Amino acid sequence: MHHTVPLTSQFYVTAPQICPYLEGRMERKLFTSLQGTNSSSLNNALSKQGFRRSQNVLYRPACVACTACLSARIDVDKFFPSKSQRRILKRNANLLRRPNAPWATEKQYELFRRYLDVRHAEGGMADMDIFEFAAMIEETPVNSRVMEYNTQAGDLAAVCLTDIFDDGLSLVYSFFDTDRSKDSIGTFMILDHITVARAAGLPYVYLGYWVPGSDKMAYKAHFSAVEIFRNQKWTPIDPTDSYQTETNPLEVRTITQQVENISMPGVLHKSDT
């Protein structure tokens, strides 16, 4: 199925698939392609509305009876690290950040494979070969960097593919040396991106989706100043809200309604009139 916003991009919907986050659920995604001269402006505009990038595609969950996936970002100015996060920063202070153009290397792929084998052996990326890995890193029509984190001895410890928005940094995908799991390098990379964003005067760090009820996504709620995109707006996480993952299917907007409420770059949205 596809849906069109007049004079702008076409949007498509995937067939239902098994949800990777919540047992017994099915997922589907609303997506559009990133191409042409307006790729960066489209990426900026849709990312502010809960979309994520994968190569040259922007997508957002569009499930029939569930709205559990919530896009999350950190307000850099309001963020303050916890005691445990300060310990993580100190523990990884020996790592050297090296931002590079989005170009894949054999060392990156070797680290990526070891990471998948330990953390996501049954996941959708488990069979990804070096050519598919290179496509994931290099097929980007927007402003991106590969953040490498190396030890003092020059060993590659972690990698993050990062998009640069007009209002922040987005951690598209990251992986690390699982032998250093006790160092919490995944958390360290988020903390380091906050440092980079603050130095660049960018107000947000985008984390992807937070899924209440999913253990693998719980860490995103452990950062202070986290905002979620819910009901068409960004709001701070409410500690008094249980964020129940059960949803009345009659409350979920149809795909047509969802597309109609997307604000496209350079197009006056009906809610703005």
- Closest of 234, 237, 217, 216 to residue 225, by C-alpha: 237
Residue type, 162: T
List pLDDT tens digits, range 217-269.
888 989 999 999 988 899 999 877 877 665 665 567 778 888 888 888 875 44
Q: 107 near 158, Cβ under 8 Å?
A: no
Q: Which residue has the higher pLDDT, 78 or 19?
A: 78
Q: Tell which CATH classification among 3.40.630.30, 1.20.1050.90, 3.90.220.20, 3.40.50.1820 matches the domain 74-227.
A: 3.40.630.30
Question: Which pair of tokens denotes residue 70?
Answer: 């919530």
Please state the pTM of the whole predicted model: 0.89
List pLDDT tens digits, range 22-75.
888 889 999 999 887 788 999 999 999 999 999 999 999 988 778 889 999 999
Return left, alpha or beta for 154; rule: phi > 0 is left, psi -120 to 50 is alpha, else beta: left
- Helix (H) or strand (E) segment spanning residue 193: helix 185-200
Q: Is residue 113 over pLDDT 80?
A: yes
Q: 190 near 173, Cβ under 8 Å?
A: no
Residue type, 78: K
Q: Delimit the CATH 3.40.630.30 region(s) of the chain.
A: 74-227
Separation CA 8–CA 264 (nearest Å): 7
SS3 167: coil
- The mean per-residue pLDDT over the stretch 84-100 comes to 96
Residues 6+ apart with CB under 8 A from 170: 47, 52, 53, 162, 163, 164, 205, 206, 208
Furthest CA-CA distance within the chain: 58
Could you give the angle at the alpha carbon of 208 between the alpha carbons of 159 and 137, nearest 5°?
Answer: 40
- Closest of 151, 206, 142 to residue 174, by C-alpha: 206
